[in-house]
Amino acid sequence: MHHPEKGKAEVWVQQGEKLTIRLKMSTSQKHRDFVAEPMGDKPVTALSGIGEVLGRNLEDQGFDKAYVVLGQFLILRKDVELFKEWLKDASGANEKQAELCAICLQEWCAAFL
């Protein structure tokens, strides 16, 4: 299994039998903290890219915990693009915020699932 350098996140997109790198970017401390341990009962605002306003928008729709948002990511079969579109529609996130959250969940899944 490939592990990104510390402080870097990589988005992998499965295409048939091969994986390709889509994006490589520096990650925030919030991101590193989130993917470093099981998510337990963390609030939705613990996710990278989700601040107070987006968190409140998600909470209003029943997505109050990080694991509930993870559930949506898994329902969408870990498809980063579909998840980003869902998050933008559900919370009003912009492209960058949606990307940060998707990368955070993808990296968490790679470490813990």
pLDDT digits (tens, 9 = 90+) for 57-94: 999 999 999 999 999 999 999 999 999 999 999 999 99
The pair of three-digit structure tokens given for residue 31, joined into one six-digit string: 């991101």
Burial class (CB in 10 A: 0-12, 13-18, 19+), 14: exposed
- For residue 25, the model assigns a pLDDT of 55
- Kindly tell me if the per-residue pLDDT of 23 is higher than 70: no
Q: pLDDT > 90: what percent of the chain?
A: 69
CA 78 from chain centre, in angstroms, equals 9
Rounded (10°) CA dihedral 6, 30, 53, 104: 40
Which residues are registered as beta bridge partners of 11?
23
Kindly report the pTM of this predicted structure: 0.77
Token representation of residue 10: 């990589």
